[in-house]
A and B are shown apart, each in its own frame.
Chain A
Amino acid sequence: MSHRLLLLALGLGMSSLAAAPMVLADGPIVLRDAAQHELRLEHPPHRVITLLPSLTETVCALHECARLIATDRYSNWPESVQALPKTGGLDDAQIELIVSLKPDVVILAHAPRVTDRLRELGVPTFVVETHTYADISRTVSAIGELLAVGDHAIALNRDIENSVAAAAESAKRSLRGRTPLVYYEVDSGPYGAGPESFIGELLARLGARNILTQDLGPFPKLNPEYVVRHNPDVIFVSPQEASNLDHRPGWDQVRAVREKRICSFAPQVRDTIVRAGPRVAEGLEAMADCLERVAP
């Protein structure tokens, strides 16, 4: 009972995502998800499917990995989830497989086609939206409420906040006042990470200045000339692209390319940077380590 009351307080105080969970004394938990669907469960779910790596990681970081019976094909951390059945991606989820696994709930991000179909088939869904750094704690709280492990969620949020603050503080110390101008290339479209994207927020926490402006949106497709004109000090790019940057027209004159101030990460490290989940501090540290090495 007190546990449930605590959840209620948490829900009201910390979570605007799963707005106002109505927790009845001994009755079902009723939650409203980010898609404004009401989820009513008789018991805390024991058979859970997640359809996004950051959600899988959140469930496991709450020490509830054992409840997972399947994940999406991209979930690869922690190692134990690799052996679980894979139900496709978020947008091309294998509905038949999901239904046949009889989950108590499917936790997923915004994917109306999948959500609607699953709900039509009687599979409970719980939609969360995690786009910004602030969303991470909301998602952790919401999933904590859903799994009835609110105390774990509080502890995890505290851990995440402390580690991120420590990583950012340590990075700022080691950068010694340097505020490099950076460009983060999401892929060679080229799509860049803008200031309002999750990656952009992390860069800002490290004191880096983004060459992209707010008005361009979170992941704009750029005219490559934009990067040449803004002449970033440091470029974050995939390992495949890193060695070819000087072959792009005009890019051999960009400071970051000319002075080889390039940050690229192995896929498993990149996962911690691009996934807005509980390992955010690891991603921040990876970016900070590289900036410390290469920033002018």
Chain B
Amino acid sequence: MNAASPIASNELHLRTDEAALPRYALWLMAWAAVTVLLTAVSLSVGTSSIRTSLKWLMSPDASSNIVLWHIRLPRAIGAWFAGALLGLGGAIAQGLFRNPLAEPYLLGSASGAALGVTLGLLAADASLSGLAWTGELGVTGCAFVGACVAIALTLALSRGVLQTASLLLAGVVVAFLLSAITSLLLLSSPETWRAMQAFLLGSTGFISWRSVTLLMVIFVICAVPTVLLSRGLDALTLGEETAQSLGISLPALRLALLTLLSLATATTVAQVGIIGFVGLVAPHLVRESLRVSQRQMLVAAPLCGGTLLQAADLVSRWVIRPAELPVGVVTACLGGSYLVLLLWRRARNA
């Protein structure tokens, strides 16, 4: 990291340690088991009582089949992939900026994606709640363009990708600017204001098998190259000079990872709105229990993020059922509480 950067790296959590394989494998299996368990529980949590849901599972009929297999299951799996994309984004951002407080929305990409979605919907006079394939792809495309424009603006403002501190500050500025434009657009269209607000607070209610397919494909597109680039991230944890001396082209690495980060963020925003804290908390949860290399982190953080969002989604539809809470509010409450706990523990141990 640049020595002049105020974003101190002395609190760095990233380590180049590679967790011992058995422990790491056990950890992955435990989280995978929790995911499977939550997916199973998801089938029995909704607007009906758990007893009714279990009865449906035992003796399904046409109507319960729709609720179980076309609403609850895609919702649970889609929430997992959205959370996994956020976890992956968080791992990329924290590795790239070597800062434990970095998160996927850092460079203004979420605000850009939200602006892209809003512009796309206003131009097409459409709504997010029931899109066909073309609509899903169109909205995701708009979000991606928006996220890329946001990141390009951030890079232009910070004059490149080399200065981490300038990048982060430019990201904050761009995020505020683009959010303000989104708000202005929505103010001029009061009939879409409330629906968009509900969406932007995070919404997993309308995830269909179409959305699941899209999220899954984008997850693979983002995860595979990221894991392949993990050697660069590992080298970066030793410092920029060291990374460069190891033959890593930092600008190329950063641009590639930023593109993948914006694709992950844009797809998540287009499908489930802006969901905070998952991308920030998932890598922390991994580090709490494991010392991992970047490659291991890039596998573990998505698993953790997916499980977290699945759990938050369950809470959102359980607490005030048959109504539901915006899932972004639940992740903010749970994630915020976790970070407060983390800070409190750190202060106590200091």
Interface residues of A (CB under 8 A from B): 74, 186-191, 216-217, 220-226, 228-229, 231, 238, 240-241, 244-251, 253, 267
Partner of B326, one of A186, A188, A221: A221
Partner of B208, one of A186, A228, A245, A248: A248
Q: Mark B125-141, 1 if CB is under 8 A from A, else 0.
A: 11111111001000000
Are B206 and A187 neighbours in the complex by a CB distance under 8 Å? no
Are A246 and B66 neighbours in the complex by a CB distance under 8 Å? no
Are B63 and A223 neighbours in the complex by a CB distance under 8 Å? no
Taking the nearest CB of chain A, how far is it from the CB of B202, in angstroms?
12
Q: Is B47 an interface residue (CB 8 A)?
A: yes
Given A74-B190, A225-B67, A187 contacting B46 (CB threshold 8 A):
no
Q: Is B198 an interface residue (CB 8 A)?
A: yes
Closest A residue by C-beta to B316:
A223
Taking the nearest CB of chain A, how far is it from the CB of B246, in angstroms?
48
Is the contact region of chain A dominated by helix, strand, or loop, or is it mixed?
mixed
Closest A residue by C-beta to B124:
A240
Measured CA separation A231–B63 after assembly (Å): 9
Partner of A223, one of B46, B129, B191, B208: B46
Are A224 and B198 neighbours in the complex by a CB distance under 8 Å? no
User: Cβ of A224: which chain B residues have Cβ within 8 Å of it?
Assistant: 71, 129, 205-206
Are A223 and B317 neighbours in the complex by a CB distance under 8 Å? yes
Are B131 and A249 neighbours in the complex by a CB distance under 8 Å? no
Given A190-B129, A225-B47, A250 contacting B70 (CB threshold 8 A):
yes
Measured CA separation A146–B283 after assembly (Å): 62
Are B74 and A249 neighbours in the complex by a CB distance under 8 Å? yes
User: Cβ of B205: which chain A residues have Cβ within 8 Å of it?
Assistant: 190, 222-225
- Which 10 interchain pairs have the tightest Cβ spacing? A244-B130, A189-B198, A247-B130, A188-B129, A249-B208, A248-B130, A220-B323, A187-B195, A226-B47, A223-B324
Taking the nearest CB of chain A, how far is it from the CB of B129, in angstroms?
4
Taking the nearest CB of chain A, how far is it from the CB of B120, in angstroms?
13
Measured CA separation A229–B321 after assembly (Å): 13
Q: What are 5 A-to-B residue pairs whose CB atoms are below 8 Å?
A: A187-B198, A189-B194, A191-B198, A221-B323, A267-B191
User: Cβ of A191: which chain B residues have Cβ within 8 Å of it?
Assistant: 194, 198
Measured CA separation A238–B191 after assembly (Å): 10
User: Cβ of B63: which chain A residues have Cβ within 8 Å of it?
Assistant: 228-229, 231, 253
